[in-house]
Amino acid sequence: MARAKELLAGTRRLVALTGAGISTDSGIPDFRGPKGVWTSNPGAERTATLAHYLADPEVRRQAWRNRLGSPAWTALPNADHRALVDLEHQGRLATLITQNIDELHQRAGSGPKRVVELHGTMRDCLCWACGDRRPMGAILDRVRAGEDDPSCELCGGILKSATISFGQSLDPYVLRRAHGAAASAEVFFVIGSTLGVQPAAGLVTVAVEAGAKLIILNAEATPYDPLADLVLRGAIGEILPPLADL
Ligand code: NAD
């Protein structure tokens, strides 16, 4: 903790990369942790795979049921999200790259321009055919009213949340921003991710090769731990808030 505090206190170019683990204290389960959605139900991964989603109406119906029942709609930011807001207000956090789709960083008070949402947001919905984008709430109202696989009101195309599914490319502009931030980081701080998804996890290598000090905070080991200057193994809620109290 002392060494981590020293690294954070001494930088004005901290870049954080967060994963699902920072939102578990808000009641949103992660995917691959011990209580993760996919750990307990490996079949659920199909709904997050683009090819299955586009080809199979039953996968879409399941995905709409999952969206409707997501705990993320009522989740509130927790002390870990707020700790990153503190680091931003202290002038230390330059960019917050997140793999999360729940927008809890922005709701906690992180500057929207500093947040790079690598995997998009669950709070918008996109037509796969014409690109029409609108808030997810309006489409979920249609699901509640009985449509089990709602289609685009403009063109009849398939609707999907504005998130990145497996087999789908990341937005090149968003990826370039994340790359640029990682390459200019003095300290790169990974929080709550298994670092099992590319290209997000590869940002760690970009940062380290550009000379950043690497801190990884997660309950479990990650494949990038050997590259880290510091590995903090434990509960984020017990480690991050006191670390950010500089
Ligand atoms: P992951 O599920 O692969 O890994 C989360 C890691 O966090 C696990 O190693 C787990 O042990 C650890 N963890 C969970 N709670 C913790 C805590 N309180 N303290 C310490 N460690 C904790 O998550 P990932 O690497 O972000 O990849 C999952 C993908 O799924 C991402 O692409 C993301 O888009 C998506 N996802 C997002 C959300 C969300 O927006 N909240 C939730 C689930 C999945």
Helix (H) or strand (E) holding 187: strand 187-191
Kindly report, residue by residue over 5-43, the tens digit of the pLDDT. 999 999 999 999 999 999 999 999 998 888 787 777 777
Known catalytic residues are: 119
Mean pLDDT, residues 135-139? 97
The pLDDT of residue 2 is 96
What does the alpha-carbon distance between residue 194 and residue 101 come to, in Å, rounded to a whole number? 16
Which tens digits make up the pLDDT trace of 165-215? 999 999 999 999 999 999 999 999 999 999 999 999 999 999 999 999 999
Strand order across the beta sheet in which 120-127 lies: 133-135, 120-127, 159-163
Report whether residue 25 contacts ligand 1, using a CB cutoff of 6 Å: yes
Distance 28 CA to ligand 1 centre (A): 9
Q: Does the Cβ of 197 fall within 6 Å of ligand 1? A: yes
Using a 10 angstrom Cβ sphere, with 0-12 exposed, 13-18 middle and 19 or more buried, the burial of residue 174 is middle
For residue range 35-80, list pLDDT tens digits in order: 787 777 777 788 999 999 999 999 999 999 999 999 999 999 999 9
